[in-house]
Amino acid sequence: MRTQVGIVGAGPAGLTLAHLLHLERIDSVVLEDRSREYVEARIRAGVLEQGTADLLREAGVGERMHREGIVHEGVYLQFDGERHRIDFDALTGKAIVIYGQTEVVKDLIEARLATGRPLLFEVEDVSVHDVESDRPEIRFRHDGVEQRLECDVIAGCDGFHGVCRPSIPAGVLREFSREYPYGWLGILAAAPPSSDELVYAHHDRGFALLSLRTPELGRLYVQCRPDEDLDEWPDERIWEELHARLGLTGWTLTEGPVLEKGVTGMRSHVVEPMRHGNLFLAGDAAHIVPPTGAKGLNLAIADVRVLAEVLADWYRTGRRDTLDGYSQRCLRRVWRCEHFSWWMTSMLHRSPDADLFELKLQLSQLRYVTSSEPAMRSLAENYVGLELA
């Protein structure tokens, strides 16, 4: 097989890249080791920055998002028994869209299939080769047949546990990591949202987040240990913690049947550079952020927007200087989002060994953020998405 761009991974990054390249008349093949059913069902992020939503609309894959997505013009920060609103629209003129990553992926798969170009699920034994040459290659097995895909470039959009990043020789990449001593226990509940916008809550018992997926489905989280045993968290205990951490006088949390639950550990991780030869990393293959700042999906889409742009320029002009600038352009945004996500995380979560001094610092920061217009604007700008790349 032969293509211009071989894309490993059919998550939001890989599928968005394939669609953007199609619009530029650049051929690609997308390979995914999971089944279509699995990819379309896995629950992930649900907050789209305005720039992400705009890109999907402009690319022609945002019709259902525009129809079903829920626009939020702010979020709430809750602490010391009070809830404070950060007004995105007033502070930045922008908003966010609540639309689940699963729905984004479904829309992108439909768009890809409509092009008639290859999207192969359940491929096995994927490996990348000769990435320092002008003819890198992806080897894989599909439907029991060994295949080789010759490419001009390879896009590694296969996530933190994928094969692309580990294929880069030792000593080429620098890795920067931080592990957090807590995780999120998340539930999807058949419960209408109890708030018109997201609520980020700081509490003595730990962080909590009130979010949603649709007007009928709530997405809620409580801070827990990263190695938490789900058997220790029956539904009754989860709702008890949510009531305790989110409760306010005169406000009621709506309960409903728990449809899904799971624990997510939290880490920050970045590799530099995001390119080696003709292998380009994008999304979780290159960086991980804690979920507090709602940046993971948005960073992945920002990466491939840049990658599609520089590849289109290279195919048009033959110049490699824009290709050479891919990593630097992306990392500028990555590190800004890493900092914002770390800052939100450290401000809102209670560390296992936290003392009263740390608690007082957190509360002081929260009071400042919710009382100073420049501080509120800084949070709002970062949350709705900065134009950096």
| 32-46, 145-159, 363-377: least confidently modelled range | 32-46
Q: Please tell me whether the overall predicted TM-score, pTM, comes out greater than 0.85 for this model.
A: yes
Q: Mean pLDDT across the stretch 147-165?
A: 97
In this structure, is residue 345 part of a structural domain? yes
In this structure, is residue 33 part of a structural domain? yes
Q: Mean pLDDT across the stretch 312-321?
A: 95
Q: Rounded CA gap, 388 and 332, in Å? A: 7
Helices 373-384 and 356-369 sit at what angle, rounded to 10 degrees? 90
The CATH number linked to 158 is 3.50.50.60
For the question of residue 315 being annotated catalytic, the response is no
Query: Per-residue confidence at 129, pLDDT binned at 50, 70, 90?
Result: very high
Q: How much is the pLDDT for 282?
A: 98
pLDDT, tens digit, 9 for 90 and up, residues 333-379:
999 999 999 999 999 999 999 999 999 999 999 999 999 999 999 99
In this structure, is residue 167 part of a structural domain? yes
Catalytic residue among 19, 291, 326, 349: 291
In this structure, is residue 168 part of a structural domain? yes
In this structure, is residue 368 part of a structural domain? no
**Residue 59 burial (CB < 10 Å; 0-12/13-18/19+)?**
middle
pLDDT, tens digit, 9 for 90 and up, residues 99-112:
999 999 999 999 99
The total number of structural domains that make up the chain: 1
pLDDT, tens digit, 9 for 90 and up, residues 210-236:
998 889 999 999 999 999 999 999 999
Q: Rounded CA gap, 316 and 312, in Å? A: 6
Q: Is the dihedral of CA 278, 284, 288, 294 positive or negative?
A: positive
Q: How much is the pLDDT for 387?
A: 81
For the question of residue 202 being annotated catalytic, the response is no
DSSP-derived pairing of the beta strands 137-142 and 199-201: unpaired
For the question of residue 383 being annotated catalytic, the response is yes
Query: Per-residue confidence at 389, pLDDT binned at 50, 70, 90?
Result: low
Residue range(s) defining the domain that contains residue 314: 5-71+95-176+266-350
In our burial notation (b when 16+ CB lie closer than 10 A, e otherwise), range 235-246 reads eeebbebbebbb
In this structure, is residue 240 part of a structural domain? no
Length of the chain: 389
Q: Rounded CA gap, 333 and 227, in Å? A: 30
Catalytic residue among 99, 182, 326, 383: 383
Q: Are 147 and 1 in contact (CB under 8 A)?
A: yes
Catalytic residue among 12, 19, 22, 72: 72
Query: Per-residue confidence at 388, pLDDT binned at 50, 70, 90?
Result: low
Q: Rounded CA gap, 368 and 379, in Å? A: 11
Within 10 angstroms of residue 290's Cβ, the number of other Cβ atoms is 24
Q: Are 13 and 303 in contact (CB under 8 A)?
A: yes
In this structure, is residue 308 part of a structural domain? yes
For the question of residue 273 being annotated catalytic, the response is no
Q: How much is the pLDDT for 45?
A: 76
State residue 38 phi and psi, 5-degree precision. -65, -45
Catalytic residue among 182, 200, 221, 326: 200
DSSP-derived pairing of the beta strands 47-48 and 217-224: unpaired
In this structure, is residue 292 part of a structural domain? yes
pLDDT, tens digit, 9 for 90 and up, residues 268-305:
999 999 999 999 999 999 999 999 999 999 999 999 99
Q: Rounded CA gap, 383 and 47, in Å? A: 10
DSSP code of residue 122: S
For the question of residue 295 being annotated catalytic, the response is yes
Helices 326-348 and 296-317 sit at what angle, rounded to 10 degrees? 170
Mean per-residue pLDDT of the chain: 96
